[in-house]
Chain A
Amino acid sequence: EPEVTQTPSHQVTQMGQEVILRCVPISNHLYFYWYRQILGQKVEFLVSFYNNEISEKSEIFDDQFSVERPDGSNFTLKIRSTKLEDSAMYFCASQGELLSYNEQFFGPGTRLTVL
C-alpha cells in the first residue's frame, strides 16, 4: 500500500538554527499539506500546496516558514530560525484530489525538539 514517508523521525536543534523537514508524498497525489501538533494539543494546519505554489496558509505559517517541492517527489518544510515554541510533531499529508470523500494520507511525522 502506498504511504507518505517523512525524514528524519526526530530532529534536535538549537534555537535560532534552520531546519528542513522532508516528506515524500504518495506518487500520484497532487495536494500536499503540513500540520503540526504541540505535545498535548490538537493537530493544527500549517499550509497547503498545489501546482507548485501555496494554496492556503494559517496564521502560524509566518515568514520563518517556507515550503517547496524541489524535485517533483520531495516536499519540504523549512523553518529559518527555530524558536523554542516550534517544538512539536510535524506531519506531512498528501491527497489525490480535492473531493469531499478523498482521504488525506498522513506521514508518521517528524518530532522537532528545539533547545
Chain B
Amino acid sequence: RKEVEQDPGPFNVPEGATVAFNCTYSNSASQSFFWYRQDCRKEPKLLMSVYSSGNEDGRFTAQLNRASQYISLLIRDSKLSDSATYLCVPHNQGGKLIFGQGTELSVKP
C-alpha cells in the first residue's frame, strides 16, 4: 500500500466554489501532517500543519481522522490563485518528507 494516496484530480471548479480533497495514509504511527501546495515547476510551499483533529486558517480547513487514517482539506470561496497541486505529507520522525502525486486544482473564472 502506498504511504499516501490522494485523489489525482484534476478538480476543475468555478471561482467561489467549495472544494474538498481527500488523503489516506498507511502509517498509523504518523502523528502529524502537512498540506503543501505546489505551483507548476515551483517549490512546494507549506499551506498548513495538522497535528490534532484539525486546523482552520481562513478559507482553508484541514480535518484529521486517525481511526480511518484519513485527512481532508476543504477550500471555501475558491480564488483563481488557489489553482495549484495540493500535497498531503505525513510527518516522519527522521525528518524526510514523503510526497504523493498530489491533487491538481484548477479554478476557473
Contacts and interface: CB of A to CB of B under 8 A. Distances in A.
B32 A56 contact: no
11 contacts: A33-B95, A42-B99, A42-B100, A42-B101, A45-B96, A55-B94, A91-B43, A100-B32, A104-B46, A104-B95, A111-B41
A100 B31 contact: yes
A67 to B, nearest CB: 14
Nearest to B99: A43
B61 interface: no
Q: Is the interface of B mostly helix, strand, loop or mixed?
A: loop
Contacts of B42: 108-109
Q: Is the interface of A mostly helix, strand, loop or mixed?
A: strand
Contacts of A42: 99-102
- Size category of the binding interface on chain A: 20 to 34
- Size category of the binding interface on chain B: 20 to 34
Interface string A50-66: 10000110100000000
A48 B94 contact: yes
A44 B99 contact: yes
A41 B104 CA distance: 13
A45 B100 CA distance: 11
Contacts of B101: 41-42
A101 B94 contact: no
A93 B44 CA distance: 10
B49 A103 contact: yes
